[in-house]
Structure 1
Amino acid sequence: MSKKNNLAKRKKQYEFDLRREKLEKEKKEKKLHAKKNKMKLDGKDKKKGGSGFQVGKRKVKTKLTALAKAKAAQAMELDA
């Protein structure tokens, strides 16, 4: 039997590949979960009429992504 066709070696390689794929999948899920949590606003997930959102005392009438909104809210918290 050749070295390449060694059954024990193939089995170990297969298990190693499965383990690596599982770890990569878990890592990807954690990253996505962290990103979702980062984008969430503090209880402000409700839609407030149209395309504007509250910044300070005035309403901004732009369409921003959830991440941009979170950054803006965070910046307002730092200023206060």
Structure 2
Amino acid sequence: MSKKNNLAKRKKQHEFDLRREKLEKEKKEKKLTTKKNKMKVDGSDKAKKRGGSGFQVGKRKVKTKLTAVAKAKAAQAMELDK
């Protein structure tokens, strides 16, 4: 028998491949679940936020609330005016 056709070797290789695929699958699942957990958002919060943060203009959403940086810049501009 040739080296390639050795039944014991093929069986070991097959088992090794199966084990490796199983580990990769578990790793991928774990990564996916952690990603899902990060992205999880409570549905009630989403309903409350909907109208307050901005409004739709065409395909873009226009924000009406100021960010922290914008607020700081506005406050600094107000101080300069005084």
| TM-score normalised to structure 2 length | 0.52
> How many residues matched?
80
CA deviation vs aligned residue, 1:8-33 (integer Å, no higher than 9, x gap): 00000000000011001100100000
Note the residue ranges of structure 2 that are not aligned, 5 or more in a row: none
Structure 1 outlier segments of 4+, above 4 Å = 42-80
TM-aligned CA distance change 1:15 to 1:79, over 3 Å: farther
* % same residue: 90
Whichever structure has more helix as a proportion of its residues is 2
CA-based RMSD: 10.5
Q: Which moved more, 1:32-41 or 1:58-67?
A: 58-67
Q: CA deviation at 1:53?
A: 11
Runs of 5+ consecutive residues of structure 1 not aligned to the other structure = none
The 8 Å contact of residues 38 and 67 in structure 1, kept in 2 or not, is answered as: no
Instruction: Using the TM superposition, give the Cα deviation of residue 41 of structure 1 relative to its aligned residue in structure 2, in angstroms.
Output: 2.8
